[in-house]
Amino acid sequence: MNIITHLQKRIESILDHDLEVPSEEVLQAKKNFEALTDPRLLRGLSESLPNDNTDKAVILFSRLALYFDAGVFLEADQNLWEPQAQFHRGHISVLKGTQKKKISLPKVNLMSVLRTDAKPLLQKMKLQALDSENKTACLFIRPGTDFAFLLFSSLPDLWLKDHIRTVTEAIHRGIHNE
């Protein structure tokens, strides 16, 4: 079994499977979603994580769904990144075969944060539905050597800087069991 298939199975076992057709309850929750920004709540992001690095990465990603409009969990595949899971307005789902378009991203140091316009990146991955109104900025964070997160936020720059600093610190604590 190759590493990608192994990771996909782990993601599917940890994350709840989404329904093919979202329920009325899910649609209503997505409609009313507002990303949390309270730094006191971010402390919980890194608490009670498992020791296994893959499980830790997946659980961290699922917890980030409360703090960003959307996100994509990426797995390294040689020089490319393959999307494995996504969240949108609090709802998490595992990506399946045709939804997983590999992309090239810049090489960055661990825990570095790069910011870019979301639209071209989402178009490359064919995930434009994550920002259909083109209102978000995209943040690329690489907490591990074999996985990374794309996080999408509509927060104004003034608040986004503090928010991403606090999130990055919480991710770092979680990854390093601090």
Taken in order 134, 109, 86, 84, the sign of the CA dihedral is positive
For domain 3-175, is the CATH number 2.30.300?
Answer: no
- φ, ψ (nearest 5 deg) of residue 120: -65, -35
Examine the pLDDT at 18 and tell me if it is beyond 70: no
Summarize pLDDT for 98-156 with one digit per residue, the tens. Answer: 888 999 999 999 999 999 999 999 999 999 999 988 999 999 999 999 999 999 999 99
Please name the helix (run of DSSP H) or strand (run of DSSP E) that holds residue 85, with its range, or none: strand 80-88
Bridge partners (DSSP) listed for residue 151: 71, 139
Examine the pLDDT at 7 and tell me if it is beyond 60: no
Q: Which residue has the tokens 């999408």?
A: 152
Examine the pLDDT at 2 and tell me if it is beyond 60: no
Q: What pLDDT is attached to residue 1?
A: 44
Q: What pLDDT is attached to residue 150?
A: 97
**Mean pLDDT score of the chain:** 84
Residue type, 147: F
pTM: 0.84
Q: Could you tell me what percent of the chain has a pLDDT over 90?
A: 51
**Distance (Å, whole) CA 66 – CA 122:** 20
Examine the pLDDT at 24 and tell me if it is beyond 90: no
